[in-house]
């Protein structure tokens, strides 16, 4: 899967593709079937891992059949049952028994999102390491500080990099706090009625849910068909990431302007060219990262809108609007995360231009310092304060959350 109109989407690879969603839903069905057998609810003959029954070539068939029932799980089940009949008729009869479509679709989405968050965490770690190097290595590199687009007071590039680092650390911590998504096992109306009837015991019904979640490596919680905080929380965490990346990209875009020339993207042959102007070298990574940061909040807002529209025991449209929205947000976040990691790894800090721009901004840029300490020589205001800010960010970076 690759999106022609979202350049860089191929960086997300097989994450959260249609094929990945089908595979995740089959895994969820297989885990439930195994739980039924393990707890003696289904006969031992029903055991089947469902391996090899579905592949990427089945996506068009399932997609074409999804409209009739309003979700892709219904045609997927029909296809799996048909193929399973010839190899294990008992398993075919027990497949999906006691569940509802939302159980498997939600759990499939959760499995896909888990893979996405793992990838994003890896890229955040790379970004943290790069920013630690930049902040520490440029703690004494003086440059103009700017507020409201105008010169403010002298700062160091190390301070700017530590501010970027703080945003990345905030995103890292937010993602760590929301990324553990639960399995969804509730039955038709979120009451576990069918599993309890199958098992002959509400206690065993809950054990079935716990076993299924454990097999998938997911936590278990009460049915959340209409309580969508797990997904809205993760969507918000992904936007926190794109916010932090967008903030970095914005500074690079300003710093890369020819008249500023304080920052530039690492040169990669063929990247950043113009179709009409061979003299141009556009900061294309920063442009694409900024694009993702601008688009992501509205996708998260749609996930929230779906949660707010939840009604009765299963939503009518509010649930459905989440699926492609989450996939789009997830893949775009992965893409932007990889682009930001590459941007920071190759970022060129033009120290001579920082020095020249600071000199050109004087004496006005030293006005605050002169007003506080009259007669002081131009230089870094408030010696030691910037060092403390940088050191605090570096210390926090060393504390990786579980």
Q: For residue 381, what pLDDT is reported? A: 53
- Establish whether 274 is a catalytic residue: yes
Residue in this structure with the two tokens 């970076």, named with its chain if needed: 397
Report yes or no: 134 and 347 within 8 Å, Cβ to Cβ.
yes
Q: For residue 250, what pLDDT is reported? A: 98
Q: How far is Cα 18 from Cα 56, in angstroms, rounded to an integer?
A: 8
Q: For residue 369, what pLDDT is reported? A: 83
Q: Per the residue annotation, which of 2, 87, 274, 370 is the catalytic one? A: 274
Q: For residue 2, what pLDDT is reported? A: 78
Q: Per the residue annotation, which of 93, 121, 247, 314 is the catalytic one? A: 314
- Establish whether 191 is a catalytic residue: no
Q: For residue 380, what pLDDT is reported? A: 55
Report yes or no: 23 and 107 within 8 Å, Cβ to Cβ.
no
Tokens of 108: 């499939």
Spell out, as residue ranges, where the chain has pLDDT lower than 50: 402
Picking from 106, 76, 69, the residue whose alpha carbon sits closest to that of residue 185 is: 106
Tokens of 186: 């509730």
């Amino acid at each position: 899967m690759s999106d022609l109109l979202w350049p860089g989407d191929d960086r997300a690879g097989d994450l959260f593709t249609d094929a990945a969603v089908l595979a995740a839903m089959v895994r969820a069905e297989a885990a439930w079937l195994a739980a039924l057998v393990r707890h003696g609810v289904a006969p031992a003959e029903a055991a089947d891992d469902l391996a090899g029954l579905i592949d990427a070539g089945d996506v068009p068939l399932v997609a074409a059949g999804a409209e009739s029932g309003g979700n892709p799980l219904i045609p997927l089940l029909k296809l799996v049952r048909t193929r399973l009949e010839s190899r294990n008729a008992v398993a075919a009869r027990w497949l999906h028994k006691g569940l509802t479509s939302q159980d498997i679709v939600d759990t499939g989405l959760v499995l896909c999102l888990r893979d996405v968050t793992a990838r994003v965490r890896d890229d955040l770690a790379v970004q943290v390491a790069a920013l630690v190097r930049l902040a520490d290595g440029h703690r004494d590199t003086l440059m103009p500080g700017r507020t409201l687009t105008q010169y403010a007071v002298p700062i160091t590039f190390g301070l700017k990099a530590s501010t970027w680092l703080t945003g990345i650390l905030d995103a890292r911590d937010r993602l760590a706090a929301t990324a553990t998504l639960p399995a969804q096992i509730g039955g038709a109306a979120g009451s576990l009625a069918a599993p309890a009837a199958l098992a002959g015991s509400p206690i065993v019904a809950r054990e079935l849910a716990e076993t299924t979640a454990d097999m998938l490596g997911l936590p278990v919680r009460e049915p959340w068909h209409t309580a969508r905080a797990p997904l809205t929380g993760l969507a918000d965490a992904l936007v926190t990431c794109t916010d932090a990346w967008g903030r970095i990209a914005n500074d690079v875009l300003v710093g890369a302007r020819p008249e500023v020339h304080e920052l530039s993207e690492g040169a990669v042959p063929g990247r950043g060219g113009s179709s009409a102007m061979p003299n141009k070298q556009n900061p294309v990574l920063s442009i694409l990262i900024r694009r993702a940061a601008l688009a992501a909040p509205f996708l998260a807002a749609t996930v929230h809108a779906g949660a707010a529209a939840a009604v009765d025991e299963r939503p009518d449209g509010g649930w459905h609007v989440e699926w492609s929205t989450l996939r789009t947000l997830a893949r775009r976040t992965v893409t932007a995360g990889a682009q930001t990691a590459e941007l920071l790894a190759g970022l060129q800090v033009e120290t001579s231009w920082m020095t020249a721009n600071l000199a050109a901004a004087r004496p006005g840029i030293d006005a605050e310092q002169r007003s506080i300490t009259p007669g002081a020589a131009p230089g870094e205001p408030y010696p030691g304060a910037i060092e403390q800010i940088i050191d605090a960010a570096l210390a926090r970076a060393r504390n990786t959350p579980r």
